Amino acid sequence: MSKKIMRKTVTSRPVTILDVAAAAKLSKSTVSLVLKGSPLIPAETADRVRAAASELGYVYNSRAGELRGGRSKTIGVVVNDLANPFFAEILVGVERKLVEAGYIVLMAHTNEDVDRQRDVLRIMREQGAAGTVLCPAYGTPRAFTKEVEASGMPLVVMVRTLGPGKYDFAGADNERGIYAATKHLLDAGHKKIGFLGGLTGVVLEQRLNGFRAALAERKIKFDESLVVAAQPTRRSGSEAMRSLLDMKPRPTAAVCYNDVVAFGALSALGERGLHAGRDFALTGFDNVRDAAHSNPPLTTVDIQPDALGEHAATLLLNRIQEPARARQVYLAEPQLVIRQSA
């Protein structure tokens, strides 16, 4: 005798939040709060909602929720040089903090182009970004932050300060960090010390101030010829070191604008048959992960890039929640990490 097989009729109607509420035996408003990530709902209830949604194949449309609530969950993060591992490490910290807070990160790279930076921020405003974290490109005018503020989009500037202003800022105590690195070289007996890297801007001024202060403390005259301006890249660091090594008498040590410049300087030393830490002392700034694994490992100023990114994100989240709060400033306390290069 044949058996009749009962088949369930499959409909094409999309699963709605009402279906999830019915399956979980809860109200629509409770389900909605759970799907939005509200901390007000007990964990057991939230688990019931998520289990029901998963069973039914329901996917929460967060963008539709943003449109209904009038509040974007997208944050723009604009960096100037992704080729520099320092900014990649900062980006990791920024993104982690923002994602934990329920935001989606829209990242853009300006490649040190001020016009591109302006276009990127305009597009982010047009896309309704809830706020932006910006590391300014070289040459960004100080009035730029006022333009962004006038648009109503919350802004946090990081790493490179743009001078006086009302904007929130996350960076490091550059002067103190370079002072510590220079003092370390002076304590080791070096008197003719070069400074490699950096082109212009407030950050360079601050780092040179730290360099000068350490020299002045030992009554060593600041020599402008020992400052070799260069792009903050490996290639430019290598070229700057060659220029320094060609001087007569030759300096015995150098402070680098950042770790990437120092990596280039290390390669130039190798080309001349010199070994950092034995024939020449070298320090960096940032303490990117590669600094501990260069050849030799690099003595550098640690400002914890990953944590700096998290702090920048926190400042922006605070600003979004409390638009009228006082200006926020976070400065990482630099710590000298001594390795074999100096």
Asked whether residue 308 carries a pLDDT value surpassing 60, the answer given is yes
Q: Are 132 and 78 in contact (CB under 8 A)?
A: yes
Q: Greatest CA separation found in the chain?
A: 108
Q: Are 223 and 244 in contact (CB under 8 A)?
A: no
Would you list the domain boundaries of the chain?
Answer: 17-60, 73-173+305-333, 174-302
Q: Are 261 and 290 in contact (CB under 8 A)?
A: no
Cα–Cα distance measured from residue 54 to residue 50, given in angstroms and rounded to the nearest whole number: 6
Q: At 70, is the pLDDT very low, low, confident or very high (cuts 50, 70, 90)?
A: very low
Q: At 62, is the pLDDT very low, low, confident or very high (cuts 50, 70, 90)?
A: low
Same fold, 73-173+305-333 and 174-302: yes
Model pLDDT for residues 26-38, shown as the tens digit of each residue: 888 888 888 777 7
The CATH architecture annotation of domain 73-173+305-333 reads 3-Layer(aba) Sandwich (3.40)
Model pLDDT for residues 144-188, shown as the tens digit of each residue: 888 877 778 899 999 998 878 888 999 999 999 999 999 999 999
- Encoded tokens for 308: 């700096």
Of 56-65, 204-213, 315-324, give the lowest mean pLDDT range: 56-65
CATH 3.40.50.1000 fits domain 174-302: no
pTM: 0.77
Q: At 5, is the pLDDT very low, low, confident or very high (cuts 50, 70, 90)?
A: very low
Model pLDDT for residues 286-306, shown as the tens digit of each residue: 999 999 999 999 999 999 999
pLDDT at 241: 97
Cα–Cα distance measured from residue 91 to residue 78, given in angstroms and rounded to the nearest whole number: 9
